[in-house]
Structure 1
Amino acid sequence: MAKPIKQQSAKEFYDDVDSICLTGLTQSLNKDTHVYDLQIMDKKWINTYEFYPTEDLTSTAICLIGISRANVDPSVLGMNLQETLESMYELAKKRDYPGGFGLVVWANAVCGGVDFNTLKERCGIAIDDIAKHVQALTTMETSWLASGLAHELKRSDDPSIRELLDATISELLDSRYQAQHQIVTHAGDAAESGHGLRRWIANFADQVYTIQALAFHALLTGDDNSAKVSTDLASRMVVLQGDKGQWWWHYDSKRGGSPQPYSVYSVHQHGMAPMALRACEKAGGKSFEEAVVMSRSWMDDNELGVNMVDHETPTLWRSIEYDQGKLGDMTRKAKSLFGLAGDQSRSAPPALRVNYETRPYEWAWCIYTGAIERGIDSTSHIV
C-alpha cells in the first residue's frame, strides 16, 4: 500500500503521478487537430469545445509549457511540436480570445517558436496601446500576459518586449493589487460587464498567477517591488489556507477573506500553488515549504477522504465542489457577489461531492511543478 501523500517527499509524489500525467497528455492530444481539445467529463472523454469554447487554446498553450519545462520529448506523446505550434497559432486567431494570448506568448517562447511580431500577426492580435489592452483583461489573463512576455524577454532580450512587460506589471501592481487585504481584484476598471460586476470577488487563479508573474518579473529585472508584492500575496494566501491545505476558490479583495471557499481544485493543490510559491521563494521570498507540503497532502487527505489520484482511470480528478442544488448555488453566489457572505473559510464544510472531470492543463501544470520540485533544469524557463 502506498504511503499517504503527506509522508511522501516531493520527488516520490511527482514520480508516482508522472505516468498518469503523460498518459493524459497523450490521450487528450487530438491527432486530427494537433491541439489539446479532448478531456474527461463525468469519467467519459469529450471534446472540450462542448462545454468550454476557449479551453482548447488555453490547454494547448499550458500543455506546451509543461512539456517543455519537464523536458518531455513531444514525440513520446505522439506530438509533432511544429504542427502543434502552427495549429495553436491558427486556433488563437479562430477563437479570438485576447485573454489567452499571454499563454500563447509563453508557450511560443519556451518552445522556440516564431518571433513576437510574427506571433501577433499569426494570432490576429494587435497591442497598439498596452495600457488599454490590459485594462480589459481579468487579473488572471493579465498575469498570463506578464509571464508570457517575461519568457519572451528572456529569449529575445528585446527592449520593446521589456516595455510591454513593465506596463503589464504596472497594471497588476497599481490597479489590481489591494494592499489593505493583500489580495488582487478579479478585473480592472475596463473589464467587460460580467467580469466587471464581480471585480472585487477574485478567484484563486487571479492570486496565484499574479504571485508567479511578479516573481518572474523580479527574477528577470531585479525589481524589488514585484518581489515584495509577490511575497505579500503569497503570505496572505498561506494565512487563509485551510486546515487540510486547501486553497479556497473566491477571495473578497474589498473586505478580505473567502466568501465562497469551494470548489477546491486538485490542480491548485499539486500544481499552480506550489509552482507559484517556489517562484516567489526564488525571487527572494520566504520559505513556503510547509504550505506546499500541506497543499499536496490534500490530494488524499481531504474533506471527503477521497484520493484524487486515480491510478485506474488513470487521472487526477478535478475538484471537490458544493453539492447544494441550483437554488443553493444561486443563493450562495448572490451573497458572495453583494458582499453578504462574510468570510466562510473557517466555517464548517457544507454538502460536498467530487467533480469527476479532468482538463488537459491539469496534467501539464503537474509535470511543470514536478520538474521544479525535482530540480530538473530547463534553460528556456525562468524558474
Structure 2
Amino acid sequence: MKESAVRVPSDLSGKVGSSTTLEETVRPLIELSIKGLERMWMKDQGLFCFTVRDGQNGPAPEGVSLRYTAITLLGLHRAATNGWPVPLDLKSILRQTIEAAPTTRNIGTLALILWAGAALTQKVDPKVEAAIRSHGPFYQEAGNGVYATTELAWLLIAMIEAAEVTTGAERRRFEETAHLAYRLLKRNFNPRSSLFAFSMQLSSSWTRPLRSRLGFFDGQVYGIYSFAQYARHFSDGEALSHAKRCAERICDFQGGRGEWAWHYNVLRGKMVDRYPVYAVHQHGMAPLALKGLSEISTGDYRVEITRGLRYLFGENPLGFQFVDEAHSVIWRSMKRRSPMAKAIYINKVASFVGPTGWISALDHPSLMMIDRECRPYELGWLLFAFSDIPPKKEGGHGPAV
C-alpha cells in the first residue's frame, strides 16, 4: 500500500514545539485541503457544499452552504496570498456568495460574507452591510432572542476588517459598530472563569439556565480571536487580557492526547465533557485562535497546537487516522455511540451541582465511533490558520516565489 504523504514525523515527540516539525506536518494538510475544497465546490450553484459524507459508493457532497462558502473563501484567499496554488476563481465565487446573501437573515453568516469580501477585494459590499444593519443596533436571532457568542465574534471581526479597508466617516461607522459588538460580546465573558458562555443575554426560555451557564469550544476560539483583533486594532489592553486568559483556560482543559474539550460550565469554570472531539478544533479553530493571539502577544502555543495535531494521526483512543489522503478529507469527529451520547445532557445539569468526572467512564474505545463526514469550513479554517506557512519550492526547501 502506498505510504501517505500526510503524517506526523517520527521524531515529533522530541521536537514537539519545533516550528520546523510543525511546518513539515502542516504542508501536506494544506495541499490536501486545497484539493479537497476543489472537489467540494458545486459548480452549478457556484457555492461550496454543506458537507461531504461517506457512503456505500464513497464520499459524496450534499447541499450547499453560504456560511461555509464564506469561511472557505477566507481560507483559500489566505492560501493564495501566501503562494499556494488555488485552482478556483475566488472572486467569482465571492460574487455568487454576495448575490445569495439576501437568502439568509443570520447575522453571523452575513458578517462572514462581509469579512470575506473585505479580504478579497479590499472593499465593503454595500448590500451586505445593509443586510447586517437591518438587524438594528442589537443582534437577536429570530425566535431565539440571544446575543450568541459565535455570531457576535464574527460580527466584531467583520467590523474591524471593514474598518481597515475604509477611510473617514465610513471607517468610523464600522469602528462604532465594532465597539458595540465588543460590549455585547464582553457580557458573555465570565471574568472569574475566563470563559465565554453561549449567551448571557437570553430571552425568557426554558433553555436560559443552561445557555447562560454553559459554553462550547467554538465560542472560546472565536471569542479569543475576535478579542485579539479588537486589541490589535484599538490597542485595547482589556480585550487582550481577556483573550489571553481564555486561551490559558482552554489550554488547561486540553486532554492528555491533545484533544480540545468541547463543553464547559462557564459559571463554575470547569469542563463538562471532552466529546465529541472535532477534527476542525484540532487542525483549524484552536490554531486560528492561538496563532492569532500569539501574533499580538508574548504567548507561544506551538506545543499545544502540535499536540492537537497529533490526535488526528492516530494518537487517539481508537488509533484512527482522521486524515484521509485518498479522498482529500479530514473526517469530522470522534464521538460516543448512541445511546451513550445522550449522557452529555445529564452531565450538563450535574455540572451545576456536583462533579462531572463520572462521564469519563463512558470514554472506553468500544463506546466510540467516527463521524465520517467533512465540511468545507473545516478545511477552510485549516487554511486560514496555517497557510502563512509557505509552500516548498519545487526541488528545494525554500518558499515558493
| TM-score category, normalised to shorter length | 0.7 to 0.9
- Is 2:134 the partner of 1:126? yes
Residue 279 (structure 1) shift: 1.3
Alignment correspondent of 1:359: 375
**Could you give the per-residue CA deviations for residues 338-361 of structure 1, whole angstroms, max 9, x where no partner exists?**
636734499352421111110001
Equivalent in 68, 80, 87 of residue 77 of structure 2: 68
How is 1:134-149 mapped onto 2 (pairs within 5 angstroms)? 136-149=146-159
Equivalent in 282, 304, 308 of residue 318 of structure 2: 304
Q: Which has the higher helix share?
A: 1
Contact 1:34 1:79 (C-alpha < 8 Å) held by counterparts: no
Contact 1:143 1:210 (C-alpha < 8 Å) held by counterparts: yes
Residue 374 (structure 1) shift: 5.0
Residue 286 (structure 1) shift: 2.0
Contact 1:187 1:195 (C-alpha < 8 Å) held by counterparts: no
- Is 2:198 the partner of 1:183? no
Report the aligned-residue RMSD.
2.9
Residue 79 (structure 1) shift: 3.3
- Is 2:58 the partner of 1:58? no
Equivalent in 249, 260, 277 of residue 264 of structure 1: 277
Task: In structure 2, list runs of 5 or more residues that go unmatched.
Answer: 14-19, 393-401
- Is 2:304 the partner of 1:320? no
Distance in 2 separating the partners of 1:375 and 1:19 = 9
Question: CA 1:38–1:138 in 2, change beyond 3 Å: closer, same or farther?
Answer: closer
Alignment correspondent of 1:19: 31
- TM value normalised by structure 1: 0.86
Alignment correspondent of 2:121: 112
Question: CA 1:6–1:40 in 2, change beyond 3 Å: closer, same or farther?
Answer: farther
Distance in 2 separating the partners of 1:194 and 1:45 = 38
**Could you give the per-residue CA deviations for residues 84-136 of structure 1, whole angstroms, max 9, x where no partner exists?**
22221233321322232221121111011653533223x47514314778973
Alignment correspondent of 1:48: 63
> Does the residue aligned with 2:192 lie in a helix, a strand or coil?
coil
Task: In structure 1, list runs of 5 or more residues that go unmatched.
Answer: 50-55, 377-383
Distance in 1 separating the partners of 2:126 and 2:120 = 16
Alignment correspondent of 2:396: none
Contact 1:242 1:345 (C-alpha < 8 Å) held by counterparts: no
How is 1:1-383 mapped onto 2 (pairs within 5 angstroms)? 2=7, 3-4=9-10, 6=12, 9-43=21-55, 44-48=59-63, 56-71=65-80, 79-112=88-121, 115-121=124-130, 123=131, 126-130=134-138, 136-157=146-167, 158-173=171-186, 175-190=187-202, 193=205, 196=208, 197-300=210-313, 301-323=315-337, 325-326=338-339, 328-337=340-349, 339=351, 342-344=355-357, 347-348=360-361, 349-350=363-364, 351-373=367-389
**Could you give the per-residue CA deviations for residues 238-283 of structure 1, whole angstroms, max 9, x where no partner exists?**
1111011110111110122221210111111111111211111122
Distance in 2 separating the partners of 1:110 and 1:345 = 46
Question: CA 1:37–1:176 in 2, change beyond 3 Å: closer, same or farther?
Answer: same
In structure 1, give the amino acid aligned to 2:327. Answer: T
In structure 2, give the amino acid aligned to 1:312. Answer: A
Contact 2:66 2:97 (C-alpha < 8 Å) held by counterparts: yes
- TM value normalised by structure 2: 0.83
Distance in 2 separating the partners of 1:72 and 1:140 = 26
Q: Larger radius of gyration, structure 1 or 2? A: 2
Contact 2:149 2:196 (C-alpha < 8 Å) held by counterparts: yes
Which deviates further from its counterpart, 274-283 or 354-363?
A: 274-283
Residue 171 (structure 1) shift: 1.6
